[in-house]
Amino acid sequence: MATQTTLSALLDPFKSLRSRVFAKLYFAQTISLLGDAFTWVGLALLAYQFGREQSAVILSAALTLRVLAFILFSPFAGVLADRIDRKKIPYTTHFIRMAIVGCLPFVTAEWQIYSLVFLLNIFNAFFTPTYKSIIPQVVEKAYYRQAIGLSTATFQLLGVLGPGLAGILAVWLGAREIFFVDAASFVVAGVLILLLPGDLLNKASAKSTAAKPLSAWADVVKGARLLFGQPLIRFALAIEFVSAVAGAQILVNTVGHVKEGLHLTDTYYGWVMGAFGIGATLAAFLSGSLDKTPSRRVSLIVGALLLGVAILGANAVSYPVLLGLWLCAGLGQSLAETPSETLIGENITDAEQGKVYGSHFAFSHLWWAIAYPIAGYTGSHFPNANFLYGGLITLALLLAAILIFRPKGKPTSKLAL
């Protein structure tokens, strides 16, 4: 009976695919995520061609530009999603990204890589919030959490499997030629989005924005006010910051701990990060079934607590125990981060969701921009106790979030300012 219940919970997210419109959107997103994996594996190999010593600098600069593009442009993407047919943004950005990726095989200088990566992620910043704002419009309310869980689980799963597949293709095709496969993936995803019925994607803002003058800055500010004005979402956003601080410790410091602290090879590093990704994938699939409360407080608090406890003792354990801890950490990260997207869909009026998703996308990446330097500091100054201090910081921030931001009382109706 327990096995049947678990299997049912794992399959539950796939019920959202009963919506043919969402199914097309979901498969477009999946293909797009594969394209992203091809992009970053290709960039890593391309950076290596410019010199082994320069590869780390090029990749770190590219990741910084990626986050910067998300922070600067995703709020405006959300505003645009509330103003025009939401179908136009995803397919337009896909075809533009196809053209940008198609230029990467021909780069001959570092500045060209930086320019193309920044441009690529500007349009990525426009796609992702719009995609998230479409889901509540095309999925029945009963399956909304399952749809978000399926999307998040797919993101996590492809984060584990995508680079491996991209690496195989790179060996077969070549470091630069993989970008042509990448570009083709954006074309396929764009065509799938073109097949979506536009009338289902434009209804959210048709009435409420028809008479309003376009004021991008005012709408960006409004998106942030709505994001922080809803107590449930504000608490989820605080927990996301806690999750980012812990997650950055894992992403930044695991490789050094495995290679220098445990004296193991790259293969062991790959396995332990794979365990983290598997945990995150499982939790994303199960998140909608494990916590069905309107506030999602249980998921948020338990997820952040799991993360903090998992990394707290990581410096002092053997490799097999580290595998188990990173599996738990992955579970915790998805439990802590998935609810915010569903809470926006359930607590913000349909006509305002685009700008709020855009604002959320910007702030969630700002949290990581803050968390990475913290992880870098603990890793460089306390190499034998970096996870200990990272765990203590995580648990202290979780306590502060609960004391300061935890909402009291029942959820309010959908918010619009």
Which DSSP string corresponds to 357-383?
Answer: HHHHHHHHHHHHHHHHHHHHHHHHH-T
Choose the weakest-confidence range: 87-96, 120-129, 191-200, 340-349.
191-200
Which of 202, 218, 241 is the last residue in one of the domains? 202
Q: Is 363 found in the same domain as 284?
A: yes
Q: Name the residue range of residue 68's domain.
A: 13-202
Q: Is 394 found in the same domain as 294?
A: yes
Residue 415 belongs to some domain of the structure: no
Q: Is 159 found in the same domain as 89?
A: yes
Query: Residue with structure tokens 């994001």?
Result: 227
- The residues near 299 (Cβ < 8 Å, ≥ 6 apart) are 287, 290, 291, 335, 336, 338, 339
Residue 194 belongs to some domain of the structure: yes
Residue 2 belongs to some domain of the structure: no
Residue 87 belongs to some domain of the structure: yes
Task: Give Cα separations from 19 to 135, 233, 338 (angstroms).
Answer: 10, 27, 21
> What type of residue is 131?
Y
For position 343, what pLDDT does the model report? Answer: 86
Residue 49 belongs to some domain of the structure: yes
Which of 186, 202, 218 is the last residue in one of the domains? 202
For position 5, what pLDDT does the model report? Answer: 52
Q: Is 233 found in the same domain as 333?
A: yes
Q: Is 178 found in the same domain as 30?
A: yes
Q: Is 249 found in the same domain as 137?
A: no
More confident residue, 300 or 138: 300
pLDDT in tens, 50-66: 766 666 577 767 877 88
Q: Is 281 found in the same domain as 240?
A: yes
With residues binned 3-state (H G I as helix, E B as strand, rest as coil), the percentages for the chain, rounded to 5, are 85, 0, 15
Q: Is 197 found in the same domain as 59?
A: yes
Helix (H, G, I), strand (E, B) or coil at 338: coil
Q: Is 260 found in the same domain as 371?
A: yes
pLDDT in tens, 231-250: 999 999 999 999 999 988 88
What is the pTM assigned to this prediction?
A: 0.77
Q: Is 280 found in the same domain as 134?
A: no
Residue 107 belongs to some domain of the structure: yes
Residues 172-185 have a mean pLDDT of 84
More confident residue, 20 or 324: 324
Residue 353 belongs to some domain of the structure: yes
> What type of residue is 294?
P
Residues 293-322 have a mean pLDDT of 91
For position 204, what pLDDT does the model report? Answer: 45
Q: Is 46 found in the same domain as 179?
A: yes
Mean pLDDT of the chain: 80
> What type of residue is 167?
G
Residues 326-354 have a mean pLDDT of 84
For position 309, what pLDDT does the model report? Answer: 96
Q: Is 168 found in the same domain as 91?
A: yes
Name the nearest CA neighbour of 104 among 71, 132, 76, 62: 62
CATH code of the domain containing 105: 1.20.1250.20
CB atoms < 10 A from the CB of 207, how many?
Answer: 10
Q: How many domains does the chain have?
A: 2
pLDDT in tens, 366-381: 898 888 888 888 888 8
More confident residue, 33 or 216: 33
Which of 187, 202, 217 is the last residue in one of the domains? 202
Residues 170-178 have a mean pLDDT of 78
